[in-house]
């Protein structure tokens, strides 16, 4: 292994990740040094802000925090590991990212270990500001409660865990790519469906395993007796911090050694799967077997009810987008949103009381519907990529295109709002009032999210097909999430005010006001989006 080669690949992968994020027009920020500066600023800001906040926290909470801070410090390595794996997984979802930045291993004189090391470090470095943010907050706690020694051990292990997270991501990337490729080779719609189901399953499972929310709940219950979990490698770093703080240095040294061994084993596994599978080249996928020259079946949309509501061109765009949603690997991730939103609630409901379940069910329903609708609609233009010329060169106007682009995310989000409210109401045995509230708020959220997403997606489309194609610029997604949050809050506030503060004339009038305000907000954003589509159609973006 030559470190100069590792360094060279690392630099390329890092640049591809940084520049692939979009929205980085600043030349300086789009370099690795800029990233390190951002990480340092995040560290300084998070530690200062957290330390300042600790100064104004009331005494009873301080006592609680003091008791919890050592547990939090011991959790830091695990939290860091979770974040790195989580973000590492996101990278593999985009087809472009997969081939643009890792296909070189197939034909360049690079060994699998060199590639794995470089790729893992690039994953770690590209999200190092998350790690420094966590370390900054934990430093504030350590300074406030005199736990600097524990913080030093915790930070060291967090740094190591971030590298371990990079190795774990590499393993997941290789396996997902391999699975995806194997399914593709078999061909047919069944293969595409199986691939989608598998990707959703892997994503949901990975994110549940590494979901900080779930981890916190687990840690809260197990942290006081974390040593009892000595058989789980992921908690070994936490045991090191706990044992070192308790003065049991022999035990701390032992768990440090096995942590190192575990990290080494992860690296060897990552190298093994990478050298076994390398990066699969794109394979030809055959969809149907209608035979030589025979016409295809066509889309069911184009006959019956669909043809009454939409023109032939609009139906063509809708059909294409449905296929895009079903077949593109980077689109399949959105299918996992409902599962990811439901799983934490199901996994942790045992420790919740009735009102907590109501609160979390409401939160996850609104967030799930909102995120799903927002992303799906915000990407509606950007997902065309460079193939947008085909739309612009065809006789389809902005109104028709807008209609076609709005209907799919709106329909799917409305269905999802029904699913969320139905499933939560049934599983948690909600009464009619709670079920109706959930349904009305989710429905309003579905309409708002799609209208807001379409608006910002048409202002900030990301059409470049660079690694990690996001279909909407960073600014666009941030603004849209902010606006969605505010709009969602405005819409839900009559119901929230009634339930929590007793303000209003009853539940059903509050629900009616919530729904009406949601629909008004949606109407405003749909109108704005329609105008924006007309502006967008004036000239093919470069």
Partner 1 sequence: MAVAVRTSSLTKNFGEVRAIDNLSLDIEEGQVYGLLGPNGSGKSTLMKMMVGLIRPDAGEISIFGVRPYEKPIEVRRIIGYVPETPRLYDFLTAREYLEFVSDLYGLPEVDKRTRIAHFLEAFELSGREDEMLSGYSQGMRQKVAIIGALLHRPRLLIMDEPLNGLDPRSAKIVKDLLNRLSGEGVTTIFSTHILEIAQAICKRIAILYGGSLVSEGTVEDLKGKAGMQGSSLEEVFLMLTGGADVRSVVEELSR
Cβ closest to partner 1, residue 68 vs residue 391: 391
> How big is the CA angle at 205 (ends 201 and 208), to the nearest 5 degrees?
140
Shortest Å distance, C-beta 304 to partner 1: 14
For position 287 contacting partner 1 by CB under 8 A, the verdict is yes
Which CB atom, from 56 or from 542, has the smaller least distance to partner 1? 542
Distances in Å between the alpha carbon of 494 and those of 88, 421, 497, 520? Answer: 40, 19, 5, 14
Handedness of CA 286, 289, 294, 298 (dihedral sign): negative
Do 511 and 435 contact (CB within 8 A), yes or no? no
Please, what is the minimum distance in Å from the beta carbon of residue 295 to partner 1? 4
By CB under 8 A, the residues from 370 to 389 that bind partner 1 are: 385-387, 389
Among the residues of 349-397, which ranges form H helices?
Answer: 354-378, 388-392
Footprint on residues 426-465 left by partner 1 (CB under 8 A): 465
> Which residue in the set 58, 60, 247, 293 belongs to the binding site for partner 1 (CB under 8 A)?
293
- Phi, psi (5° rounding) for residue 491? -65, -40
Q: How many positions of this chain bind partner 1 (CB under 8 A)?
A: 46
In the complex, the smallest distance separating the C-beta of residue 324 from partner 1, rounded to whole angstroms, is 6
CA 301, 307, 309, 312 torsion-angle sign: positive
Which one among 38, 316, 507, 524 touches partner 1, defined by CB under 8 A?
316
Which whole-number Å values give the CA distances from 485 to 117, 449, 529, in the listed order? Answer: 39, 9, 18
> By CB under 8 A, which span of 152-160, 278-286, 468-476, 519-527 interacts with partner 1?
278-286
How far are the Cα atoms of 244, 252, 254, 265 from residue 230, in angstroms, in the given order?
A: 15, 12, 11, 17
390, 426, 489, 509: which one binds partner 1 (CB under 8 A): 390
Q: Which stretch binds partner 1 (CB under 8 A): 144-152, 204-212, 307-315, 424-432?
A: 307-315
Contacts of partner 1 in 51-90 (CB under 8 A)? none
* Min separation Cβ 327 and partner 1, Å: 4
Contact indicator for 183, 199 with CB cutoff of 8 Å: no
Binds partner 1 by CB under 8 A, chosen from 106, 221, 290, 351: 290
> Which residues, in sequence order, are CB contacts of 181 under 8 Å at separation 6+?
280, 283
Report if residue 190 touches partner 1, rule: CB under 8 A: no
Binding of partner 1 by 313 (CB under 8 A): yes
Of 204-212, 239-247, 317-325, 350-358, the segment contacting partner 1 by CB under 8 A is 317-325
Query: Does 315 contact partner 1 by CB under 8 A?
Result: yes
What whole-number distance in Å separates Cα of residue 52 and Cα of residue 40?
Answer: 18
* Nearest-approach distance from CB 313 to partner 1, in angstroms: 5
Contacts for 523-529: CB closer than 8 Å, 24+ residues apart: 523/451, 524/451, 525/448, 525/451, 525/452, 525/454, 525/455, 525/487, 526/406, 526/451, 526/454, 528/455, 529/402, 529/406, 529/451, 529/454, 529/455, 529/458
Helix (H, G, I), strand (E, B) or coil at 192: helix
Q: Can residue 396 be called a binding residue for partner 1 (CB under 8 A)?
A: yes
| Of positions 90, 254, 392, 508, contacts partner 1 by CB under 8 A | 392
- Residue 320 touches partner 1, criterion: CB under 8 A: yes
Interface with partner 1 (CB under 8 A), residue from 288, 351, 411, 433: 288
Binding footprint of partner 1 on the chain (CB under 8 A)? 282-290, 292-296, 298, 302, 311-313, 315-317, 319-320, 323-324, 327-328, 385-387, 389-397, 465, 537-540, 542
């Amino acid at each position: 292994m030559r470190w100069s080669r590792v360094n060279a690949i690392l630099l390329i992968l890092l640049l591809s990740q940084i520049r692939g994020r979009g929205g980085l027009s600043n030349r300086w920020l789009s370099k690795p040094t800029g990233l390190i500066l951002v990480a340092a600023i995040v560290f300084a800001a998070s530690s200062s802000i957290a330390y300042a906040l600790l100064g104004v926290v009331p005494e009873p909470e301080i006592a609680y925090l003091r008791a919890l801070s050592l547990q939090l410090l011991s959790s830091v390595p695990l939290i860091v590991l979770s974040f790195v794996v989580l973000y590492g997984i996101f990278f593999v979802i985009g087809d472009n990212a997969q081939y643009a930045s890792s296909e070189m291993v197939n034909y360049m004189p690079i060994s699998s270990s060199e590639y794995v090391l470089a790729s893992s470090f690039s994953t770690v470095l590209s999200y190092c500001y998350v790690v420094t943010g966590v370390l900054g907050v934990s430093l504030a706690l350590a300074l406030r409660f005199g736990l600097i020694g524990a913080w030093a051990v915790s930070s060291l292990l967090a740094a190591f865990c971030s590298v371990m997270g990079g190795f774990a991501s590499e393993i997941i990337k290789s396996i997902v790519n391999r699975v995806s490729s194997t399914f593709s080779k078999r061909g047919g719609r069944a293969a595409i469906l199986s691939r989608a189901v598998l990707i959703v399953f892997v994503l949901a499972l990975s994110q549940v395993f590494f979901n900080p929310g779930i981890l916190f709940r687990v840690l809260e219950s197990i942290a006081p007796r974390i040593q009892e979990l000595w058989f789980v490698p992921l908690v070994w770093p936490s045991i090191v911090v706990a044992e070192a703080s308790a003065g049991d240095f022999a035990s701390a040294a032992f768990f440090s050694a096995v942590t190192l061994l575990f990290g080494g084993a992860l690296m060897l596994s990552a190298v093994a799967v990478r050298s076994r599978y390398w990066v699969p080249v794109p394979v030809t996928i055959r969809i149907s077997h209608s035979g030589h020259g025979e016409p295809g079946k066509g889309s069911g949309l184009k006959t019956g009810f669909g043809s009454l509501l939409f023109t032939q061109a609009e139906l063509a765009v809708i059909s294409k987008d449905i296929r895009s949603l079903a077949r593109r690997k980077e689109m399949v991730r959105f299918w996992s949103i409902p599962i990811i939103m439901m799983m934490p609630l199901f996994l942790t409901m045992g420790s919740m009381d009735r009102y907590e379940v109501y609160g979390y069910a409401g939160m996850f329903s609104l967030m799930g519907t909102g995120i799903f609708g927002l992303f799906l609609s915000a990407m509606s233009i950007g997902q065309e990529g460079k193939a947008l010329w085909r739309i612009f060169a065809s006789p389809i106007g902005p109104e028709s295109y807008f209609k076609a682009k709005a209907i799919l995310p709106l329909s799917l989000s409305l269905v999802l709002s029904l699913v969320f409210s139905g499933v939560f109401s049934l599983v948690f045995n909600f009464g009619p009032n709670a079920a109706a509230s959930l349904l009305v708020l989710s429905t309003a959220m579905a309409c708002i999210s799609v209208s807001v997403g379409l608006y910002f997606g048409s202002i900030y489309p990301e059409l470049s097909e660079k690694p990690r194609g996001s279909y909407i610029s960073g600014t666009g997604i941030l603004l849209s999430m902010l606006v969605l949050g505010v709009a969602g809050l405005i819409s839900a506030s009559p119901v929230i005010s009634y339930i929590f503060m007793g303000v209003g004339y009853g539940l059903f009038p509050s629900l009616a006001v919530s729904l009406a305000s949601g629909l008004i907000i949606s109407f405003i954003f749909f109108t704005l989006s329609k105008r924006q589509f007309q502006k967008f159609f004036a000239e093919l973006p470069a």
